[in-house]
Amino acid sequence: MKDHSGSPDTKKTNSKKSPLKAIREKCLDCCCYQYSEVRECHITDCPLWPYRMGKSPFHRRNMTEKQKQDAVQRLRGSQLI
């Protein structure tokens, strides 16, 4: 691959990157690498918008009742009173 000046590109073209990380990188590129702009992106008709934070919004974690109770206890313990 060549850059705009015609010299060989120094980036690896065959790097092993997950699709979600590639999407996150593209969103950062679109927002001039301003992380807050990616979070506040208002272009909701973009096909990458649901994945812009680098995580699948459609993945749900199945937790047992014990795991849920443990998570609640951790959250209550971390609150400053």
- Each residue's pLDDT tens digit, 23-69: 999 999 999 999 999 999 999 999 999 999 988 888 888 889 999 99
Residue 47 forms part of a structural domain: yes
| pLDDT at site 80 | 56
Is residue 34 assigned to a domain? Answer: yes
- Which positions ≥6 away from 13 have C-beta within 8 Å? 1
In a domain, residue 38? The reply is yes
In a domain, 7, yes or no: no
Model confidence band, residue 1 (pLDDT cutoffs 50, 70, 90): very low
Instruction: Please check whether residue 42 lies inside any domain of the structure.
Output: yes
**Which residues lie below 8 Å from residue 51, measured CB to CB, with a gap of 6+?**
20, 23, 24, 57
Q: Is residue 4 part of a domain?
A: no
Q: How confident is the model at residue 79 (pLDDT cuts 50, 70, 90)?
A: low
Asked if residue 2 is part of any domain, the answer here is no
Write down the pLDDT at residue 12: 55
Report the domain count for the chain. 1
Domain region containing 18: 13-56
Entry pTM: 0.55
Closest by Cα among 32, 26, 33 to 51:
26
